[in-house]
Structure 1
Amino acid sequence: MKKKNWQIKLGIFLMIFSGVFFALTILVPFMELETNQKVFWSSASFIAMEVVFWIGGLIVGKELFTKYKARLNPVNWFKEKNKKKNY
């Protein structure tokens, strides 16, 4: 069971760590680089972000991946769970 727990933690870490590459994708255009270098580094960081995220998703498995993918989606951050209507 410890091995499985370790794999799940690694997968979740990789899914969250992919945000670092996303931040790099946003920051690259503001760096003092030539245009072709900016295009290369922003594309490379975007591809790295996707690869790291999906590797983490494969490690944690389908059930946890869909659960954490929904939690990492900014659209779902401020939604109330179990909204109850009082009539």
Structure 2
Amino acid sequence: MNKKNRQIKAGIFLMIFSGVFFGLMLLTPFLELPTKQKLFWSSASFIAMEVCFWAGGLLVGKELFNKYKSQLNPAKWFNNKSPS
């Protein structure tokens, strides 16, 4: 059980850590680099972000991955859910 718990924690960490690469991708256009390097670094950040996110999804499993993926969806962050 301990190995499974570490696997889930590592998967959640990878899914959250993919946000770092997303931030790097957004900051790349503001760096003083030639256009080719900006394109390369933003593409590399995007690929690293996707790899981290999906690798984390594989580690946590299908059920937890769907749960965290729905929580990371920005479209659902500001929905007002009033208990009726």
Give the TM-score, by structure 2 length.
0.94
The number of residue pairs the alignment matches comes to 84
Question: Structure 2 unaligned runs (5+)?
Answer: none
Partner secondary structure for residue 78 of structure 1:
coil
The structure whose Rg is larger is 1
> In the aligned structure 2, how far is the partner of 1:81 from the partner of 1:6?
33
Deviations 1:11-60 (A, max 9, x none): 00000000000000000000000000000000000010001000000000
Q: What is the aligned-residue RMSD (CA, Å)?
A: 1.1
**1:48-67 superposed matches below 5 A:** 48-67=48-67
**1:1-87 superposed matches below 5 A:** 1-81=1-81, 83-84=83-84
